[in-house]
Chain A
């Protein structure tokens, strides 16, 4: 088990370098001149332009640019944004906000998703089950930005129950609305996954055995059915954490959350390699670690799974 985790951590190294190389190249290859855009179309003195190009190594060929980036990375220097801020400082501001948002969204979808899924699965074909199925279908069909704008207008502006946007410090309570919007689509998937899984396992042999042993229905459902039914759900949630952190661009835009999505979007438009690479690399690490945790959880959920 420890060896397994250790090996997975070692795998991070090539993944990390591969990701930085790929992302750095993609930003490099996007057409357009970031320095020309910096001037906003106004003229720029040639000396100023040359100095800025040299400052961000934009006058160098790709391999030298990437090499210089890696060299700085080794000394934990993530470089500077075009506005002269340290990328590490920018990221340190944005990541906690997005992490809070993503964790809340994940909590909402895990708690409500599993709860509704279990009830629907146990009462297959009944009114509750049909209602949840139709509701989740609607949520999946409606794009996130529509949900976001509608909830913002109704809850934030018309009813005044919450601030329509998130204020600077992004406290937990203000993040509830954006987290609901962010988690809603995945919530629908979690409900459907749990429901299917539960209703399948209800007919499994070990459930019949457990019931025949005379165990209480409660124990059969919670310990036997639920535990085994959670494997696909956990897999989904693990992968979703990364998606929630990296994919919050639309939600963060609607609610003006100063997080990673906004940061990444602006940096891509500006062609700011240092920021894009750093943000994406950390997202890659989040993905890998989340998947590792999921793999370790399998063994706990299903004792038949062993790691060597």
Chain B
């Protein structure tokens, strides 16, 4: 889960909104990779944040490092602009039971240093990522593989997962602990990239100067910490995302306001995040040079199941009442200047299998009268203490959080006739502490950004019983069963059907209240042709051409 933690300098003026927003019109009509006629030799400059860790696949879990990793490495599969999975290094990924997978990789592929990419490059990299002694942040991504529990246990010295076996140079097999039909979809995520043999001698050193197999490679001494990261095309790359420019230079910006002025003055080519202070005016500042499109992320309000007031029959009524008392569209219009899209379920509209109108989704529509009615019904079962305040906890170091949550609690208070307010927490780390220790006394701000394009990614990790990001401790046997059926399904369509049925259960239980879908706002300079943004809201850097 990636919460917004935009670092803003103290006291920046008029900070109004989270930078992400909703869908709708942007330019971007010039889709497809062919920006015909562009100059393919010029270096493109783009904004980025300093990667938080060394550039190792299993240790990169945030946007700053992720953007670079995705250009330096390529995995078994990759995702196209719409999030559809295409085979990248994989020749085939086969299974008959969703448990045992046989993966064949294309021959003749090499890392940028010339060493071949073999089955072993994948198996060793995944084992490295999972092993406890290497302490890699993404290690939980391998938890479905058989034997993960042994290598990841505290103090474990085992280094190989039982479920991974190299058959020959171009084939390996994966055995999962349980059937998971969307496993192949995950294989394009950063954690699953291969590593060359040279990585293991000194992983920390490798992370400073990684050698990958992606469309770009790091220029000599290319990572100048806190300043810039220079990538040049990797001529050994043969996949579908071949560089159409002379390289990408990421400039590190401490805040996006500074980057915005750089694009305005044509000193920076691409900015993938319009700062909150410019959400109102970026479409006029960059006429014909902006994008505003939905991506696979959402914002929600978690109401933990351990709160006594929100349990049982009256709990369900109260959850529904609060949901219906929030006028989402008004908040989107007034605080985010219309740059978000109202949510009608728990995933994202850019995903395959998305259904806009699931049965039961009326509960996410604003209806003050109905809300009051439901609240009164709940009070009839067990009265809400007269002086009790419904709080919503949020870190306020992320721009815009404070404004929208205050608006939301005001709506709840007015429409339900109770007391409601923001419980402001100074920093992100502090708010995570409260949430992780299950000490909330009310709701909390949450959101999810997909790791890979699948409905399951928005459901399993967040609402499965005991799942890693299940902050509200939601647990439903019926929901878990539906997820399991979905994972065991033999086709993606069949699986998505089950996942949507699982969502219908969530719409009744409302462990979280979906608020809106995120959208990416990006702008580019006069020096480059139209920039396309992908399903994750990240510019497709390899396809950018200079004018």
Quick check: is A202 within 8 A (CB to CB) of the other chain? no
B136 CB contact (under 8 Å) in A31, A48, A167, A256: A48
Count residues of A near B (Cβ-Cβ below 8 Å).
60
Residue of A nearest to B135 (CB): A51
Interfacial chain A residues near B13, Cβ < 8 Å? 145-146, 149
In the assembled complex, the Cα of A100 lies from the Cα of B154 at a distance in Å of 48
Which of chain B's residues 190-208 have a Cβ closer than 8 Å to chain A? 204, 207
Inter-subunit contact B264/A157 (CB<8 Å): yes
Compute how far the CA of A288 lies from the CA of B153 in the bound complex, rounded to whole angstroms: 50
Asked whether, in the complex, the Cβ of B429 is within 8 Å of the Cβ of A83, the reply is: no
User: At the interface with chain A, which of B68-76, B219-227, B314-322, B503-511?
Assistant: B219-227
The answer to whether A93 and B9 have CB atoms under 8 Å apart is no
Contact across chains for B7 and A266 when beta carbons are under 8 A apart: yes
Name the contact of B2 in the complex, choosing from A42, A152, A156, A252 (C-beta under 8 A): A42
- B156's closest neighbor in chain A, by CB? A47
**Which residues of A sit under 8 angstroms from B253, Cβ to Cβ?**
165, 256
Asked if B468 CB lies within 8 Å of chain A CBs, one says: yes
The minimal Cβ–Cβ distance linking B221 to chain A, given in whole angstroms, is 12
Most buried by B among A41, A51, A153: A41
Picked from A40, A44, A47, A163, the residue with its CB within 8 Å of the CB of B3 is A40
CA distance A36 to B5 in the complex (A): 13
9-residue interface stretch from A124-132, A220-228, A257-265: A257-265
- Which chain B residues lie closer than 8 Å to A255 at the CB level? 258
Q: Does B169 contact A (CB under 8 A)?
A: no
From B342-350, B359-367, B430-438, the one touching the partner chain is B430-438
Determine which of B52, B143, B469 lies in contact with A82 in the assembled complex, contact meaning CB atoms within 8 Å: B52
Partner of A168, one of B61, B228, B430, B468: B228
Given the complex of chains A and B, what is the CA–CA distance between A77 and B277 in angstroms? 41
CB proximity to A under 8 Å, residues B408-430: 426-430
Please, which residues of chain B bring their CB within 8 A of the CB of A31? 426-427, 430, 433
Interface string of A158-195 (1 = CB under 8 A from B): 00100111011100000000000000000000000000
Cβ of B397 under 8 Å from chain A: yes
Q: How many B residues are at the interface, by size bracket?
A: 35 or more
Please judge, given known A-B contacts A40-B1, A40-B2, A153-B261, whether A45 and B139 are in contact too, CB under 8 Å. Answer: yes
Interface contact B227-A163, CB-CB below 8 Å:
no
User: How many Å lie between the Cα of A55 and that of B432 in the bound state?
Assistant: 21
B267 contacts which of A36, A45, A163, A258 (Cβ < 8 Å)? A163
CB nearest neighbor in A for B255: A253
Q: Which listed residue, A33, A37, A51, touches B132 by the CB 8 Å rule? A: A51
Q: Are B9 and A253 in contact (CB under 8 A)?
A: yes
A90 to B, closest residue via Cβ: B225
Contact, CB under 8 Å: A85 / B225:
yes
Is the CB–CB distance between B264 and A48 below 8 Å? Answer: no
Q: How close is A29's CB to chain B, nearest CB, in angstroms?
A: 12
Chain A: CB-nearest residue to B430:
A32
Which chain B positions have C-beta within 8 A of A214?
none
- Closest chain B CB from A251 CB (angstroms): 9
| B257: chain A residues within 8 A (beta carbon) | 149, 254
Q: Report how far A252 CA is from B225 CA in the complex, Å.
A: 16
Q: A39, A167, A266, A271: which contacts B137 (Cβ < 8 A)?
A: A39
B195 to chain A, nearest CB (A): 17
Contact with A along B8-33 (1 / 0, CB 8 A): 11111100000000000000000000
Interface: B461 (CB within 8 A)? yes
CB atoms of B264 and A164 under 8 A apart: yes
Cα of A156 to Cα of B267 in the assembled complex, Å: 10
Q: Which has the most chain B C-beta neighbours within 10 Å: A40, A252, A269, A270?
A: A40
Are A43 and B226 within 8 A (Cβ)?
no
Min Cβ gap B68→A in Å is 13
Q: Which of A145, A165, A265 contacts B262 (CB 8 A)?
A: A165
Q: Are A269 and B11 in contact (CB under 8 A)?
A: no
Q: Which residues of B contact A83 (CB under 8 A)?
A: 50-54
Please give, as numbers and ranges, the residues of chain A lying within 8 Å of B133 by CB-CB distance. 51
B433–A47 CB distance below 8 A:
no
Contact of A43 among B132, B262, B267, B461 (CB under 8 A): B461
Task: Find residues 467-489 in chain B having any chain A CB closer than 8 Å to their own CB.
Answer: 467-469
Q: Check B428–A48 contact: CB distance below 8 A.
A: no
Residues of chain A within 8 A (CB-CB) of B226 are 90, 93-94, 258, 262-263
**Inter-subunit contact B9/A84 (CB<8 Å):** no
Cβ of A250 < 8 Å from any Cβ of B?
yes
Q: How far is the CA of A266 from the CA of B429 in the complex (A)?
A: 12
Does chain A have a CB within 8 A of B155? Answer: yes
- Which residues of chain B come closer than 8 Å to A32, judged between CB atoms? 427-433
Q: In the bound complex, what is the Cα–Cα distance between A59 and B50 (angstroms)?
A: 27
Cα–Cα, bound, A93→B224 (Å) = 10
Closest-by-CB residue of B relative to A49 is B135
Q: Is the CB of A145 within 8 A of B9?
A: yes
Whether A43 pairs with B140 at a CB distance below 8 angstroms is: yes
Tell me whether B252 is interfacial, beta carbon within 8 Å.
yes
Q: Are A41 and B225 in touch, CB under 8 angstroms? A: no
Is B154 a contact of A33 with CB atoms below 8 Å? no
Q: Does B62 contact A (CB under 8 A)?
A: yes
Chain A positions within 8 Å of B, measured between CB atoms, are 30-34, 36-48, 50-52, 55, 82-85, 89-90, 93-94, 143, 145-146, 149, 152-153, 156-157, 160, 163-165, 167-169, 249-250, 252-256, 258, 262-263, 265-266, 269-271
A-B contact pairs, 26 of them (CB 8 A): A31-B433, A32-B430, A32-B432, A32-B433, A33-B436, A40-B2, A40-B3, A40-B61, A42-B1, A44-B137, A47-B153, A48-B136, A48-B152, A51-B135, A85-B225, A89-B225, A157-B264, A160-B265, A163-B267, A253-B255, A253-B258, A256-B253, A256-B259, A269-B5, A269-B427, A269-B429
Top 3 A-B pairs, shortest CB-CB distance: A43-B468, A253-B9, A32-B430
Additional 16 contacts, C-beta under 8 A, given A33-B429, A42-B137, A270-B429: A30-B430, A32-B430, A36-B432, A40-B3, A44-B137, A45-B143, A47-B153, A90-B226, A156-B265, A168-B227, A253-B8, A253-B258, A256-B254, A256-B255, A256-B258, A269-B429
